[in-house]
Amino acid sequence: MNRIKPFLHYLLAYRFQIMMGIGALLVTDLAGLTIPWLIKTVIDFLPDQPSGLLLAQFAGWLLLAALVQGVSRFGWRKFLFGTSRKIEVDILNDLFAHFMTLDQTFFQKQQIGDLMSRGTNDLRAVKEFLGLGLLVVVDAVVVILACVSLMVYINPELALITLLPLPLVSLLFFGFIRAISIRHTAIQEHLAKITSMVQENLAGIRVLHAFVQEENEIKKFDGLNREHIEKNMRLARLFAVFTPSLVLTTGTAALLSLWIGGKEVIAGELTLGSFVAFNSYLVMLSWPMMAIGFVVNLTQKGLSAMSRLQEIFDARSSLDQVTPVDPDFKIEGAIEFKGLYFTYPEADQRVLQDVDFVVQPGSSLALVGMIGSGKSSLVQLIPRIFEVARSTLWIDGKPIQEILPDLLRRSIGYVEQEPFLFSTTIRENIAMGRPGSSEREIEEMVRCVHLLPDLERWPLGLDTLVGERGVSLSGGQKQRIALARALIRRPKILILDDAFSSLDTETEAIILDNMPSYIEGTTTLMITHRLSMVQKVDQILVLDGGRVVERGTHGELMRLKGTYQQLFVNQALAREMEIMLQ
């Protein structure tokens, strides 16, 4: 019950439709129960020479019962199955909306394929449980109670003897239910592994081709599939015992009815019509008894799926949910780190230590250092991708926790070294930075990032589809589109995390010449390994081992003759060597 409780509000939202469906189901069962009684009446009470009118009258009643049953069957299919699909849509919408509230920490601990499996396979199991499961349970309860009552009414002694084997069903039910639940959970978890592998292989198909790993991955996938089949076979073997046992039980009841009831008919103690009706109700009773196995399967599958979905709904963002002091606060771009230490969630080693510096609004800052020195980790803290200790990171004089996350992120433009593009057009990817952007604004950004020469080579121009994750574009094209997406929002803080690494020096120079008019008044933080780009910035920080080891302008750091000066000299020598080799 605890696993169902979080999902009850979805049922309550459609309580009118569900009640209509249950009502239609009851009418269906009532019409079905009426037919054997009409046949009993025909056999027992028709005269030896019945008139055609009387036969037509009974036939009409049977036809009416069948019509009512047909119409009401359509009703419960519409209101119960249709409602279960609406509930599926509601849960999926809520699940997706909840994904959007979770932070990077959650997704780092999860496999995308597993999350996709929960949103598809598990959700389908919940839909079947809430729709088909509800139908079978109500149908079984009504039919069992009605059939047993009518059988007792027709012949109490025969009913008692015939129903004697049926308690075995309960023993079978409780004996198998736990094992079925465990095996269903194992199947759904393994299905998530298969989904994860498919997702990863399709996303990394170019790497697989490049390293000729297709056959290895096919063998791995075959192994996972065979394991999945074996887990399903373990469950099937349970039902291979459970379901036939139910059939044997109901078959034994039918055998007793024919043997003892037949003797009573021969002895004149039971009318032929009553005997026919009794056996008709026994046959009707066999379906819900056998449906118990189906319900057990559906219920355990649905409950396991609910548990897996509820794990996602129970997940919460690790960001400190402090109510902002001033919801109308406007960001101007001042950034201050005060003795900040940072360790990634569930990691042991600190990546940033005692970071302390100030960036004035509208100024520029470059972060340089060796790979792994903590540069990207530092800038990821500004849009609160990860949480920091209170009072260690301030934006415009306020602790970052006191600023609405949406307001903070709307004020930031972020371009990564390997930007993510959505599988839509170039125009839509750029406009995502500021929905509602005009065509003129998009074209301005295209010119700014020097993308126009590339667009002229594509027949569809801005309407060119980039493919999944921009698979049809080069690294430099993806970086420029991502830069245009960040610039079009006119951010107060612009973060460039090695955003020019895939560009040639000529394109880089053109973009750097175009950008100042678009980032006037914007606080710009730049991570780069090309030190030729940072000579004109207002402040340079050199990081090493998560610490700021040097700071100053290009000239000041060159005179300091420390780490920065060594890096700059080495790069200058490397460029000279390249020129000589050309």
In-domain check, residue 322? no
> Does one domain contain both 273 and 342?
no
3-state helix, strand and coil shares in percent for the chain, rounded to the nearest 5: 65, 10, 25
Residues 224 and 282 placed together within one structural domain of the fold: yes
Q: Is residue 54 part of a domain?
A: yes
Question: Which DSSP letter does residue 76 get?
Answer: H
CB contact at 8 A, 375 and 567: no
* Contacts within 8 Å (CB) and 24+ apart, 560-565: 563/369, 564/368, 564/531, 564/540
Contact 143, 288 (CB under 8 A): yes
β-partners of residue 23 are none
The structural domain count of the chain equals 2
**Residue 376 lies inside a defined structural domain of this protein:** yes
Residue 324's pLDDT is what? Answer: 60
Which pLDDT does position 578 carry in this prediction?
60
Q: Is residue 514 part of a domain?
A: yes
In whole angstroms, what is the distance from residue 346 CA to residue 559 CA?
Answer: 41
Domain boundary (261, 284, 314) is at: 314
C-alpha to C-alpha distance for 537 and 547, rounded to whole angstroms: 20
Task: Confirm whether 279 is domain-assigned.
Answer: yes
129: nearest Cα among 102, 91, 175: 91
Structure-token pair, residue 172: 């079978």
- 176 and 145 share one domain: yes
Q: Is residue 320 part of a domain?
A: no
d(Cα 68, Cα 465) in Å, to the nearest integer? 54
Q: How many angstroms separate the CA atoms of 512 and 179, rounded? A: 65
- 81 and 228 belong to one structural domain: yes
For residues 393 and 510, membership in a common domain is answered with: yes
Structure token pair of residue 375: 């540069």
Please choose, from the candidates 317, 485, 309, 314, the residue with its C-alpha nearest in 3D space to the C-alpha of residue 406.
317
C-beta neighbour count of 581 within 10 angstroms:
6
Instruction: Give the 3-state secondary structure of residue 367.
Output: strand
Distances (CA, A) of 452 to 425, 433, 461, 507: 15, 19, 9, 12
| pLDDT tens for the 582 residues of the chain, in order | 566 777 788 888 888 988 898 898 889 888 888 888 888 888 877 766 666 677 788 788 888 888 998 898 898 888 888 888 888 888 889 888 888 888 777 877 777 777 887 888 788 888 888 877 777 788 888 888 888 888 888 888 888 888 877 767 656 666 666 677 678 778 877 877 887 788 778 777 767 777 777 888 888 888 888 888 888 888 888 777 777 777 777 778 778 888 888 888 888 888 888 888 888 888 887 777 766 666 776 777 788 888 888 888 888 877 766 666 666 778 899 999 999 999 988 778 899 999 999 999 999 999 998 888 889 999 999 998 888 888 899 999 888 888 888 888 889 999 988 888 888 888 898 898 888 888 999 989 989 998 888 888 888 888 888 876 667 788 888 889 899 999 998 999 999 998 888 888 888 888 888 888 888 889 999 998 888 788 888 999 999 989 999 999 998 898 888 888 888 888 777 666 665 655
Q: What DSSP string runs through 30-75?
A: HHHHHHHHHHHHHHHHS-SS--HHHHHHHHHHHHHHHHHHHHHHHH
Say whether 397 sits in a helix, a strand or coil.
coil
Alpha helices (H) in 77-211, listed in sequence order:
82-101, 104-108, 112-117, 123-128, 134-154, 156-162, 167-203, 205-210
Do 375 and 484 fall within a single domain?
yes
Backbone angles phi, psi at 110, to 5 degrees: -120, 150
Looking at 283, 314, 345, the residue that finishes a domain is: 314
C-beta of residue 493 within 8 angstroms of C-beta of residue 412: yes
Q: Do 356 and 310 have their domain in common?
A: no
Measured between its terminal Cα atoms, the distance across the chain in Å is: 74
Q: Verify that 274 and 379 share a domain, yes or no.
A: no
Rounded to an integer, what distance in angstroms lies between the CA atom of residue 136 and that of residue 297? Answer: 12
Same domain, 310 and 358: no
**Cβ neighbours of residue 481 closer than 8 Å, sequence gap 6 or more:** 419, 421, 426, 429, 430, 449, 451, 466, 470, 473
pLDDT of residue 340: 92
Pairing of strands 493-497, 352-359: unpaired
Amino acid letter, residue 428: E
Distance CA 388, CA 393 (A): 7
CATH code, 495: 3.40.50.300
Residue 231, Cα to own-chain centre: how many angstroms?
24
Query: Considering Cα of 419, then 422, then 425, then 431, what sign does the dihedral take?
Result: negative
Query: Based on the domain organization, do 258 and 113 belong to the same domain?
Result: yes
Both 142 and 252 in one domain: the answer is yes
The strand pair at 539-544 and 398-399 is best described as unpaired
Indicate whether 469 belongs to any domain. Answer: yes
Q: Are residues 362 and 271 in the same domain?
A: no
Say which residues have a Cβ less than 8 Å from residue 533's Cβ, sequence separation at least 6: 366, 500, 508, 512, 526
Is 422 inside a domain boundary?
Answer: yes
Q: 29 with 146: CB under 8 angstroms?
A: yes
**What residue has token string 């598990």?**
122
Inter-residue contact 42 to 273 (CB < 8 Å): yes
Q: Are 467 and 423 in contact (CB under 8 A)?
A: yes
Residue 446 has, within 13 A of its CA and on its CB side, a CA count of 22
Tokens of 396: 């415009």
For residues 288 and 140, what is the distance between their CA atoms, to the nearest angstrom? 5
What is residue 566's predicted lDDT score, i.e. its pLDDT?
Answer: 87
- Look up residue 548 and give its two tokens: 């700021």
Closest to 252 (Cα-Cα) out of 165, 368, 367, 145: 165
CA Rg value for the chain: 36
Domain hosting 392: range is 335-581
H/E stretch holding 443 reads helix 439-448
Q: For position 222, which CATH number holds? A: 1.20.1560.10
Cα–Cα distance for residue pair 288/33, rounded to 1 Å: 14
